[in-house]
Amino acid sequence: MVKQTIQIFARVKPTSRKQPQGIYSVDEDEKSVAALEIILPRDLAEGFVNNKRESYKFKFQKIFDQESKQEAIFDTIAKPVAESVLAGYNGTIFAYGQTGSGKTFTITGGAERYSDRGIIPRTLSYIFEQLQKDSRKMYTTHISYLEIYNECGYDLLDPRHEASSLEDLPKVTILEDPDQNIHLKNLSLQQATTEEEALNLLFLGDTNRMIAETPMNQASTRSHCIFTVHISSKEPGSAVVRRAKLHLVDLAGSERVAKTGVGGQLLTEAKYINLSLHYLEQVIIALAEKHRSHIPYRNSMMTNVLRDSLGGNCMTTMIATLSLEKRNIEESISTCRFAQRVALIKNEAVLNEEIDPRLTIIRLKKEIQELKDELAIVTGEQRTEELTQVELDKLEEHIRSFVEDQDPESRLEVGSDMRKIHHCFCYLKKLLNERKIPEKSESSHEIKDQDGEVPLKEEEFKKLRDLLKQRDNEINILVNMLKKEKKKVQDMFNQQNTSRGGTRQSLSASPLYVGLDDSSKASISSTSKLTQDGNSLDYRSAFQRRKTGKKEEMSLGRQEAFEIFKQDHADSITIEDNKQILRQRFSEAKALGESINEVRSKIGHLKEEINQRQMQRVALSITDNAVGDQELDPVEEKLRSKMEEEKKSYKKMFTHLKGLKVEIEHLQLLMEKAKVKLKKEFEVWWIEEAINLQKKSLPENSPRTPESWHQQQSQSHVTNESELISRKIMPSPPLPAPPPSRNQRTRFSNSSVEESDLISKKSPPPSPLPSRNSENKFNNPNMEESDLTPRNKVPSPPPPSRNQKNPPDRLYLEERVLGSPSSSIPFTGDSQTDNDILAFLKARQNLLQKKGLANS
């Protein structure tokens, strides 16, 4: 057993702007502990909380200042925990801090650079490396990824869902068994046999997490995410299995409601999140008190799930993430205070060993065989499982004469052979039964005779017939009821199938989804095969589908808009950069692969040469009859040492190539994630744009460019994405909006060279005026408005330029809106697509207007 207090570390996030000096200082001099002093700026100290202290001092195991690298964080914090997990102890690392302080960056990593990968990918890498090195034991690794939002758990690794909101993910619930062990129902455990598979799972979960997030729920700041690695190990031949869990936890933002001060629904949500952190704090306070018997774990799902990590069988580490800017001083101080309380908790981690019954059976069988062999040696006769037929016949004869013998003194002697004793009993039983049956059949015969001879009275007959009729009726009714029930069930089943795509029928019934906890003993081992064979393929294909992006086809107009959105998005630089790096790594890997092949063939040649050399020497020694073959051949020695060298370089290059492979895989996943994010943000922008265009009457509602949208997004919340500050800042003067025009002709005016240039890059080659039939279509007075309406409501035309004095007439408007007739946009004839194109063109026009590029 290892007794240990929860280890606490602090990490200070790099500040974006130059900060005034002296907000905090780190003192590493004290023995083995570090102290963080937060100094209140004078203006803040005046009105701050309840006292006028000017500085606060907090102790941590170690403080990672702004310039600390992810690698150092892993080495100091995560590696020791991973090691103890490999040894069979449970471990937990959780990050606590306000939104934007770097929790996700620390736990999962940055989305841009390979070197930014956080504790989870590095730990996975480390664990699989260690598992490979240790050939004395057999290991199995499973991964689960749980998100808790608003007291509800969601399985982020569900392979069958293309989640577009949290509610699409399977709900995870807590079950408590009579022994008060916690089980998580519906949380899938996916087997990962390699680092690559584990990473794929991490990215699948992160992508689900990102996609499920909406601006309304902002799940990333309000939910807790628990990534768990389950490792079981055993030595060959032993029945003892060790199981350990490693929880890597990204908690919700720790900010307080009072400060956020948001209204309406948001307030309740914010309070709710804080409520679960509030319960966490209560648990921690209770644990820190010496003589508390009741710890309020049950108050929230998160404390329930992390019960072992807090005051239980676990080695736990906390990372307090701090964003030490002036405006965050208050939150930083409460984060540190929380950490100080956490540091008082003492945990007792025990080795999680248990006996596997299957392995025990195998061991016992072996033991029995050994004992039998021993017995055979002692008795001198080979003991078989069954008695032979001759022995049986002899025994039965013996028993019969015993039974028949009237002498009360007679005895049945069979010796001490248990097989014979057992058979005696069996045979006696048989004899007894045989006696009974003739008696019985005699008596039943009598009854039958009686039946036949004594006819029933008429009255009795009638009574019986009535009874029979009554029973028949009853049976009919029951059959009908049964039919109805069956139909109901069938209907329900069909309904379920249609509403859920029939995928989750057996979810809760499957043992796979029960049992995160220790006591779900057999579930991991017995279902692991199932997971690997079935589900992991599922999740891979689900992820693959996402990767290839075939989820939905975009119409031409949206594609165009997406291209431009992409160009303006800050992330596109990262994607491009990563593409560049990826290309580089690819060619590096290719070159390395070629070199490896070369070295390999070199080694082959050397081997060949050595072989030949040896043959020659043998041949020589035979012909010469010399005994010189014992001597070392200098040439061969030389060849051998050369080969050793080549082997060394082969090994080196191979290790390098393996590293490259991991990096390439990681980069690909990062890019995939960035693309998904981009697409998601584009969807939001597109919808907002359409709605905005429709609200055209107010100048504030003038359409925004993708860039100004990105800016607004980044200002609205201090989240991860918020820091994607746009590259360029654009003026967006308020423009008066024109009245909407209902019918629109598809004429394009030559509004700007840039526009057509830009568009023609992507669109098909210029065609002669496409207007004819589409014009008809758009001018058709019989047409329903809905026909004109694109998917997300019809975006109204953009505002005219400022020097437009007269109310815009229709033709004018169309030309303003739609550009020149010489533009190269063809209409497709499909109203949906054409409307998309129109909407895009208008959005684009607005964009150009704001840039001042549109002709006036």
Indicate the annotated binding residues: 97-104
Judge contact between 274 and 266, C-beta under 8 A: no
Judge contact between 320 and 338, C-beta under 8 A: yes
Q: Which residues are annotated as a binding site for ATP?
A: 97-104
Q: Quick check: 321 binds ligand ADP (CB under 6 A)?
A: yes
Is the backbone of residue 438 left (phi > 0), alpha (psi -120 to 50) or beta?
Answer: alpha
Q: Which amino acid is at 175?
A: L
Cα–Cα distance, 639 to 530 (Å, whole number): 50
Task: State which H helix or E strand residue 96 sits in.
Answer: strand 91-96
**Smallest distance from ligand ADP to CB 108, Å:** 8
User: 86: how many CB neighbours lie within 10 A of its CB?
Assistant: 21
CB closer to ligand ADP, 65 vs 196: 65
The one of Mg ion, ligand ADP, none whose footprint includes residue 797, by CB under 5 to 8 A per kind, is: none
Judge contact between 221 and 64, C-beta under 8 A: no
Query: What does the buried/exposed string (b/e) look like for 312-345 if buried means 16 or more CB atoms within 10 Å of the residue's CB?
Result: bbbbbbbbbbbbbbeebbbbbbbbbebbeebbeb
**Smallest distance from Mg ion to CB 711, Å:** 21
User: Residue with CB nearest ligand ADP?
Assistant: 102
CB closer to ligand ADP, 218 vs 756: 218
Q: Reduced to 3 states, what is the DSSP secondary structure of residue 552?
A: coil
Q: Is the dihedral of CA 153, 159, 160, 163 positive or negative?
A: positive
- Per-residue contact track with ligand ADP, 611 to 640, x per CB under 6 A? ------------------------------
The one of ligand ADP, Mg ion, none whose footprint includes residue 321, by CB under 5 to 8 A per kind, is: ligand ADP
Q: Tokens representing 114?
A: 């390979």
Q: Which amino acid is at 250?
A: D
Q: Which of 232, 317, 720, 835 binds ligand ADP (CB under 6 A)?
A: 720
User: 179: how many CB neighbours lie within 10 A of its CB?
Assistant: 7
Stretch that binds ligand ADP, among 358-366, 640-648, 718-726, 792-800 (CB under 6 A): 718-726
Question: Within positions 78 to 107, which residues make up the interface with ligand ADP, using CB under 6 A?
Answer: 97, 99-105
How many residues in the shown chain lie near ligand ADP by CB under 6 A?
A: 17
Judge contact between 711 and 729, C-beta under 8 A: yes
Q: Quick check: 845 binds Mg ion (CB under 5 A)?
A: no
The one of ligand ADP, Mg ion, none whose footprint includes residue 311, by CB under 5 to 8 A per kind, is: none
CB closer to ligand ADP, 97 vs 205: 97
Q: Which amino acid is at 586?
A: F
Beta strands 91-96; 240-250: pairing state: parallel
Here the contacts of 610-617 (C-beta below 8 Å, separation 24 or greater) are 610/636, 610/639, 610/640, 610/643, 613/639
Question: Within positions 214 to 233, which residues make up the interface with Mg ion, using CB under 5 A?
Answer: 220
CB closer to Mg ion, 104 vs 228: 104
The one of ligand ADP, Mg ion, none whose footprint includes residue 97, by CB under 5 to 8 A per kind, is: ligand ADP
C-alpha to C-alpha distances, 538 to 162, 229, 533, 542, 630, nearest whole angstrom: 12, 20, 9, 6, 61
CB closer to ligand ADP, 37 vs 116: 116
Position of tokens 């990050």? 95
CB closer to ligand ADP, 533 vs 723: 723
Q: Tokens representing 750?
A: 């030559």
User: 453: how many CB neighbours lie within 10 A of its CB?
Assistant: 7
Tell me the backbone φ, ψ of residue 148, rounded to 5 degrees. Answer: -115, 115
Q: Quick check: 797 binds ligand ADP (CB under 6 A)?
A: no
The one of Mg ion, ligand ADP, none whose footprint includes residue 13, by CB under 5 to 8 A per kind, is: ligand ADP
The one of Mg ion, ligand ADP, none whose footprint includes residue 845, by CB under 5 to 8 A per kind, is: none
Q: Quick check: 118 binds ligand ADP (CB under 6 A)?
A: no
CB closer to ligand ADP, 13 vs 696: 13
- Per-residue contact track with Mg ion, 100 to 129, x per CB under 5 A? ---xx-------------------------
Q: From 381, 383, 254, select the one nearest 322 (Cα to Cα).
A: 254
Tell me the backbone φ, ψ of residue 328, rounded to 5 degrees. Answer: -105, 10
Angle at 623 between CA 617 and CA 625, to 5 degrees: 90
The one of Mg ion, ligand ADP, none whose footprint includes residue 102, by CB under 5 to 8 A per kind, is: ligand ADP
Position of tokens 């010796």? 415
**Smallest distance from Mg ion to CB 13, Å:** 12
**Smallest distance from ligand ADP to CB 105, Å:** 3
Beta strands 138-149; 152-155: pairing state: antiparallel
The one of Mg ion, ligand ADP, none whose footprint includes residue 101, by CB under 5 to 8 A per kind, is: ligand ADP
Q: Is the dihedral of CA 125, 126, 127, 133 positive or negative?
A: positive
Question: Within positions 236 to 255, which residues make up the interface with ligand ADP, using CB under 6 A?
Answer: 253
3-class SS string, 661-676: HHHHHHHHHHHHHHHH
Here the contacts of 627-630 (C-beta below 8 Å, separation 24 or greater) are none
Q: Tokens representing 819?
A: 């550009």
**Smallest distance from ligand ADP to CB 164, Å:** 22
Residue 743 DSSP class: S
**Smallest distance from ligand ADP to CB 126, Å:** 20
User: Residue with CB nearest Mg ion?
Assistant: 104
**Smallest distance from Mg ion to CB 247, Å:** 16
Stretch that binds ligand ADP, among 444-452, 458-466, 656-664, 719-727 (CB under 6 A): 719-727
The one of ligand ADP, Mg ion, none whose footprint includes residue 746, by CB under 5 to 8 A per kind, is: none
Question: Within positions 84 to 103, which residues make up the interface with Mg ion, using CB under 5 A?
Answer: 103
Q: Quick check: 191 binds Mg ion (CB under 5 A)?
A: no
**Smallest distance from ligand ADP to CB 104, Å:** 3
The one of ligand ADP, Mg ion, none whose footprint includes residue 723, by CB under 5 to 8 A per kind, is: ligand ADP
Q: Quick check: 14 binds ligand ADP (CB under 6 A)?
A: yes
Question: Within positions 675 to 694, which residues make up the interface with Mg ion, using CB under 5 A?
Answer: none
Q: Tokens representing 679?
A: 């697409």
Query: What does the buried/exposed string (b/e) look like for 37-47 if buried means 16 or more CB atoms within 10 Å of the residue's CB?
Result: ebbbeeeebee
**Smallest distance from Mg ion to CB 249, Å:** 12
The one of Mg ion, ligand ADP, none whose footprint includes residue 89, by CB under 5 to 8 A per kind, is: none
**Smallest distance from ligand ADP to CB 209, Å:** 12
**Smallest distance from Mg ion to CB 104, Å:** 3
Cα–Cα distance, 229 to 247 (Å, whole number): 7
Task: State which H helix or E strand residue 26 sits in.
Answer: strand 24-27
Position of tokens 């040896």? 614
Question: Within positions 193 to 232, which residues make up the interface with ligand ADP, using CB under 6 A?
Answer: 221
Q: Quick check: 13 binds ligand ADP (CB under 6 A)?
A: yes
**Smallest distance from Mg ion to CB 82, Å:** 22
The one of ligand ADP, Mg ion, none whose footprint includes residue 200, by CB under 5 to 8 A per kind, is: none
Judge contact between 232 and 216, C-beta under 8 A: no
Judge contact between 76 and 93, C-beta under 8 A: no
Residues with Cβ < 8 Å from 696, sequence gap 6 or more? 737, 738, 740, 796, 797, 798, 799
**Smallest distance from ligand ADP to CB 312, Å:** 26
**Smallest distance from ligand ADP to CB 729, Å:** 19
Question: Within positions 805 to 844, which residues make up the interface with ligand ADP, using CB under 6 A?
Answer: none
CB closer to Mg ion, 90 vs 104: 104
Q: Reduced to 3 states, what is the DSSP secondary structure of residue 55?
A: strand
CB closer to ligand ADP, 117 vs 243: 117
Q: Which of 88, 91, 110, 799 binds ligand ADP (CB under 6 A)?
A: 110
Q: Where do contacts with ligand ADP occur on this chain (CB under 6 A)? A: 13-14, 97, 99-105, 110, 221, 253, 321, 719-720, 723
Contact residues for Mg ion (CB under 5 A)?
A: 103-104, 220
